[in-house]
Amino acid sequence: MEKYLYVALFAPLVGSLFSLLFTAQKKNVITALVTSGLLLLSFVSSLSLMYAVHSDMIIHVKMMDWISAGNLNLPFGFVVDNVSVVMMVTVTLVSSIVNIYSMGYMMHDKGYNRFFTYISAFVFSMLILVMSDNFIGLFIGWEGVGLCSYLLIGFWYEKDTASWAGNEAFIMNRVADLGMLMGLFLIYWQFGSFEYDVVFAHIGGINPAVVTTIGLLLFIGAMGKSAQFPFHTWLADAMEGPTPVSALIHAATMVTAGVYLIIRASALFSLVPEVGHVIATLGAFVAVFAASMALVNRDLKRIIAYSTLSQLGYMFVAAGLGAYWIALFHLMTHAFFKSLLFLGAGNIMHAMDDELDIKKMGGLFNAMPYTAILMAVASVALCGIYPFAGYFSKDMILAAAFNGGNYYIWAALFIGAGMTAFYSFRLIMMVFFGDKVYKKLGFHPHETYPFVLWTLLPLGILSTIAGFFEHPFEEFTTRLLSKYDFSFSHTTEIGLIFLTLTFVILVVLATIYKYGRGGFSKQIETMPLYILLKNQYFIPKIYETMIFRPYYVLSRFAWKQIDVRIIDFTVDLIAKILYLLGQRSRKMQSGNLSDMLRWMVVGIVVLLALAIFYRPGM
Amino acid sequence: MITLTHYLVLSGILFSIGIVGVLRRKNLLMLFFSTEILLNAVNIGFAAVSKYYGDLSGQIFSFFIIAIAASEVAVGLGLLVLWYKRSGTIDLDSLQMMKG
């Protein structure tokens, strides 16, 4: 089985290195074909690993000793167990689909070969992250995906906004990673090891206050990667990258790494329910906060990005409340329908010459019916309507919130579900139905290549049926993760489901009805609430005035005053003194023999004086 | 009674005279004289110390120096004559062809 593990892990790396050879050349389809083939190979290997894990086998390999210095001993090991294999299958499946999809989407881009290099490098880093058997390997993968995310957000680096967004994502993640790094140091300090097995075996004997600190610090890292408040601004700006990247990295896989970290360290987090409570509360807040910004946004991709944020909030609620397998389940179903939604958005952008304003679309259903159907499926799954995938996972998160007695969290998630239904169908209605605004603006939309649509089909099917694997999934993952028992009666459960489902369906119907008749009037745009939401609660503005500007002033001061006046001055002074000395002593070399003899005598006198007065060791 | 000190003092005085000559004189011939004085000052020192310790290597060394001084003067004077034929002067300051 080890060889499947190595194939699954290294196939993307091979693909990445292969297409790296072509980056300086013109578009070459072979890069796309080879990387797609290797990603599919990785997917197939992950599937066979899943089968092996299913028959109660945990594959744990030590590839090599990595760092051995003093007391520090870090083997480079990988583990495939019930949690990591779920992530592996999800990541490789979505990335294979995205890679094939990109062959159509990036068809005319001049960075064609480079794009596939980055995507495969990303998948490799992500697999390192999920498969590592120690925190350091996880951290390396963590930074690796951050780097690939930076490269891919700034893929069109000649655009100022894109390179700005790339920098923003990278720097924000660095800030959060500091927290994570401190958590890792604390772990090493307490346990003397980074390996999961060692750490989680000894976690009971550690001072609870320290465990709480470790939990909080790790969660700060998770907040950065999963773009939770207050690190959320980078995710919306990351939409500057190519759409397949948004689907793969900023919806399905990388941003869920934070949730994965919490699930992976569940043995740690389940010891400190207070931290879990903080996580769940923040998650619930973000679920509503992000969804509210999606309500009024007009940018196609940003709406979906805020929706991703909101769904990540749901996952954190589940993870924080100790329902780890539910969080993982939602992570998986979300990966399917959210990447489908993004890839559908990519089709629309393709058809509309990269136009993103949904006000300029409308009535696209006739032009691109298959995309419309796929996106509608994804949206229904996102809203959580029976029998689509989101219904099962999301409903269980709501039930878990209710079960824990955290009624305010439940209420927030309930409102969030309503908002989700509203913005999803607002998007569908404004893009695919209503007046054909695009005709006036001179667009000629057309359906994309058929093979692209065919690659989306597996995602569409999974978004529809994945929910029915709830019980096998629970059985499979709870062999490793702790079980989560619902304590309320069956009637309450039915009542909750009925309540949520009715509410969501009512919101959906109301949205369809409202936008079917032309939507809201212009007047709403002058309401203070609308303006607040439209400007994303003014948080980007606040960050700019409170952080960027003072930091800019500070940096400028450091440059003009400290660097130029002190450091540069010192360096220049040394150079000037040496130059002056040279200038002065040049006169020694007059070419006159008696001058030279004079200097020779001076030298002899100096040496003589040294020989007489300087006696080392006396 | 003439002791080692007298010889060494003589050697020192001669050396100083030689140094002053090397520094002050501008005539190349005089420069050679001064160099001879310097070398012979050292010779006196060597011979005196050699006698004092009863070790012959000092005296042998002075022979070497005398031999070297002789060949040096032979080569030097040859060059000096050549220089005089070429430039018509043996002033030290005229030797500035290498000045950068």
Q: Which residues, other chains included, contact A266 with Cβ-Cβ below 8 Å and sequence gap of 6+?
A: A319, A322, A324, A481, A482
CB-CB neighbours of A397 under 10 Å: 32
By Cβ distance, the residue of A589, A593, A598 closest to B95 is A593
Contacts of A593 in chain B (CB under 8 A): 92, 95
pLDDT average, residue stretch A464-474: 85
pLDDT band (50, 70, 90) for residue A571: very high
Residue of chain B whose Cα is closest to the Cα of A601: B19
A524 shares its domain with A557? no
pLDDT, greater one: A407 or A609? A609
Q: Which of B19, B20, B34, B94 to mutate to test the interface with A (most CBs of A within 10 A)?
A: B19
A471 shares its domain with A568? no
Nearest-Cα distance to chain B for A110, in Å, is: 59
In this complex, is the C-beta atom of B30 within 8 Å of any C-beta atom belonging to chain A?
A: no
A481 shares its domain with A553? no
Whether residues A591 and B26 touch (CB distance < 8 A) is answered with no
Q: Is A577 left (phi over 0), alpha (psi -120 to 50) or beta?
A: alpha
pLDDT, greater one: A519 or A242? A242
pLDDT band (50, 70, 90) for residue A618: low
- How far from each other are the two terminal CA atoms of chain B, in whole angstroms? 55
Distances (CA, A) of A579 to A82, A272, A377, A589: 69, 65, 76, 16
pLDDT, greater one: A406 or A568? A568
Instruction: Say yes or no to pLDDT of B75 above 60.
Output: yes
Instruction: Say yes or no to pLDDT of A130 above 60.
Output: yes
Whether residues A601 and B23 touch (CB distance < 8 A) is answered with yes
Could you tell me where the DSSP H helices lie in B4-96? 4-24, 28-53, 57-87
Whether residues B96 and A592 touch (CB distance < 8 A) is answered with yes
* Dist CA A35 CA A48 (whole Å): 20
CB-CB neighbours of A25 under 10 Å: 10
Whether residues B22 and A592 touch (CB distance < 8 A) is answered with no
Q: At what angle do helices A369-383 and A407-432 cross, to 10 degrees?
A: 170
* Dist CA A243 CA A342 (whole Å): 7
pLDDT digits (tens, 9 = 90+) for A261-274: 999 888 888 888 88
% of chain B beyond a pLDDT of 70: 97
Out of A506, A534, A562, a domain closes at: A534
* Dist CA A295 CA A291 (whole Å): 7
Residue of chain B whose Cα is closest to the Cα of A599: B23
pLDDT, greater one: A570 or A24? A570
pLDDT band (50, 70, 90) for residue A190: confident
A572 shares its domain with A524? no
Enumerate the domain spans of chain B.
Answer: 7-89
Distances (CA, A) of A108 to A117, A542, A607, A618: 17, 39, 77, 82
Residue of chain B whose Cα is closest to the Cα of A586: B100
* Domains contained in chain A, number: 3
Contacts of A589 in chain B (CB under 8 A): 100
Contacts of A595 in chain B (CB under 8 A): none
In this complex, is the C-beta atom of B29 within 8 Å of any C-beta atom belonging to chain A?
A: no
* B27 DSSP β-pair partners: B91
Whether residues B96 and A591 touch (CB distance < 8 A) is answered with yes
Q: Does domain B7-89 bear CATH number 1.10.287.3510?
A: yes
pLDDT average, residue stretch A574-596: 86
Helix (H, G, I), strand (E, B) or coil at A159: coil
pLDDT, greater one: B93 or A318? A318
Whether residues A591 and B100 touch (CB distance < 8 A) is answered with yes
Instruction: Say yes or no to pLDDT of A491 above 90.
Output: no
Q: Rounded to the nearest 5°, which phi and psi values hold at A72?
A: -85, 125
pLDDT band (50, 70, 90) for residue A32: confident
* Dist CA A281 CA A275 (whole Å): 10
pLDDT average, residue stretch A605-611: 92
* A79 DSSP β-pair partners: A60
A545 shares its domain with A530? no
Q: Give kind and range of the element (H or E) at residue A18.
A: helix A2-20
Q: Which of A585, A586, A592 to mutate to test the interface with B (most CBs of B within 10 A)?
A: A592
Contacts of B94 in chain A (CB under 8 A): none
Q: What is the DSSP letter of A279?
A: H
What mean pLDDT value characterizes chain B?
A: 90
Tokens of A475: 């059985």
Looking at the domain assignment, is residue A160 inside a domain?
A: no
Whether residue A135 contacts residue A184, with contact meaning beta carbons closer than 8 Å, is answered with yes
By Cβ distance, the residue of A589, A590, A593 closest to B92 is A593
In this complex, is the C-beta atom of A589 within 8 Å of any C-beta atom belonging to chain B?
A: yes
Nearest-Cα distance to chain B for A599, in Å, is: 10
Residue of chain B whose Cα is closest to the Cα of A604: B19
% of chain A beyond a pLDDT of 70: 100
Helix (H, G, I), strand (E, B) or coil at A563: helix
Q: In A7-87, which ranges are E strands? A: 59-69, 72-80
In this complex, is the C-beta atom of A593 within 8 Å of any C-beta atom belonging to chain B?
A: yes
Q: At what angle do helices A273-296 and A300-320 cross, to 10 degrees?
A: 160
In this complex, is the C-beta atom of B88 within 8 Å of any C-beta atom belonging to chain A?
A: no
pLDDT digits (tens, 9 = 90+) for A282-329: 999 999 999 888 888 888 888 999 999 999 999 999 998 888 889 999
What is this model's ipTM? 0.79
Whether residues B100 and A589 touch (CB distance < 8 A) is answered with yes
Looking at the domain assignment, is residue A146 inside a domain?
A: no
Q: A491: domain range?
A: 166-534
Whether residue A391 contacts residue A421, with contact meaning beta carbons closer than 8 Å, is answered with no
Looking at the domain assignment, is residue A6 inside a domain?
A: yes
pLDDT band (50, 70, 90) for residue B12: very high
In this complex, is the C-beta atom of A598 within 8 Å of any C-beta atom belonging to chain B?
A: yes
Tokens of A26: 């013109």
In this complex, is the C-beta atom of B66 within 8 Å of any C-beta atom belonging to chain A?
A: no
Instruction: Say yes or no to pLDDT of A590 above 80.
Output: no
Report the pLDDT value the prediction gives residue A12, as an integer from 0 to 100.
92
Tokens of A350: 């393709």
Nearest-Cα distance to chain A for B90, in Å, is: 13
Residue of chain A whose Cα is closest to the Cα of B94: A592
Q: Report CA A14 to chain centroid distance, whole Å.
A: 23
* A129-143, A368-382, A568-582, range with greatest mean pLDDT: A568-582
Amino acid at A540: P
DSSP string, A360-401: G---TTTT-HHHHHHHHHHHHHHHT-TTSHHHHHHHHHHHHH
By Cβ distance, the residue of A589, A590, A594 closest to B92 is A594
Using CA of residue A402, residue A407, residue A409, residue A412, what is the dihedral sign?
positive
By Cβ distance, the residue of B19, B26, B99 closest to A594 is B26
CB-CB neighbours of A191 under 10 Å: 19
% of chain A beyond a pLDDT of 90: 24
* Dist CA A35 CA B65 (whole Å): 84
Report the pLDDT value the prediction gives residue A208, as an integer from 0 to 100.
85
Q: Is A591 left (phi over 0), alpha (psi -120 to 50) or beta?
A: left
Whether residues B92 and A598 touch (CB distance < 8 A) is answered with no
pLDDT, greater one: A140 or A363? A140
CB-CB neighbours of A257 under 10 Å: 24
Looking at the domain assignment, is residue A367 inside a domain?
A: yes
A114 shares its domain with A184? no
Instruction: Say yes or no to pLDDT of A248 above 70.
Output: yes
A523 shares its domain with A549? no
* Dist CA A435 CA A589 (whole Å): 91
Whether residues A589 and B22 touch (CB distance < 8 A) is answered with no
Looking at the domain assignment, is residue A25 inside a domain?
A: yes
Looking at the domain assignment, is residue A157 inside a domain?
A: no
Cβ pairs A/B, distance under 8 A? 23
Contacts of A601 in chain B (CB under 8 A): 19, 22-23
Contacts of A594 in chain B (CB under 8 A): 22-23, 26, 92-93
Contacts of B80 in chain A (CB under 8 A): none
Pairing assessment for the beta strands A59-69 and A72-80 based on DSSP bridges: antiparallel
Instruction: Say yes or no to pLDDT of B33 above 70.
Output: yes
pLDDT, greater one: A287 or A442? A287
Residue of chain B whose Cα is closest to the Cα of A594: B23
Looking at the domain assignment, is residue A449 inside a domain?
A: yes
Instruction: Say yes or no to pLDDT of A189 above 70.
Output: yes
Residue of chain A whose Cα is closest to the Cα of B26: A594
A356 shares its domain with A409? yes
A101 shares its domain with A247? no
pLDDT digits (tens, 9 = 90+) for A61-120: 887 787 777 777 778 888 888 888 999 999 999 999 999 998 888 888 888 888 899 999
Out of A109, A133, A157, a domain closes at: A133
Q: Report CA B90 to chain centroid distance, whole Å.
A: 18
Report the pLDDT value the prediction gives residue A92, as an integer from 0 to 100.
92
Out of A534, A549, A580, a domain closes at: A534
Report the pLDDT value the prediction gives residue B63, as an integer from 0 to 100.
94
Report the pLDDT value the prediction gives residue B100, as an integer from 0 to 100.
54
Residue of chain B whose Cα is closest to the Cα of A605: B19
Residue of chain A whose Cα is closest to the Cα of B24: A594
What mean pLDDT value characterizes chain A?
A: 87
A228 shares its domain with A348? yes
pLDDT band (50, 70, 90) for residue B99: low
Contacts of B95 in chain A (CB under 8 A): 593
pLDDT band (50, 70, 90) for residue A472: confident
A529 shares its domain with A558? no
Looking at the domain assignment, is residue A144 inside a domain?
A: no
Q: What is the CA radius of gyration of chain B?
A: 17
Q: Which residues, other chains included, contact A501 with Cβ-Cβ below 8 Å and sequence gap of 6+?
A: A384, A385, A386, A391, A395
| Torsion angle in degrees (nearest 10) through CA of A477, A480, A484, A485 | 100
Contacts of B89 in chain A (CB under 8 A): none
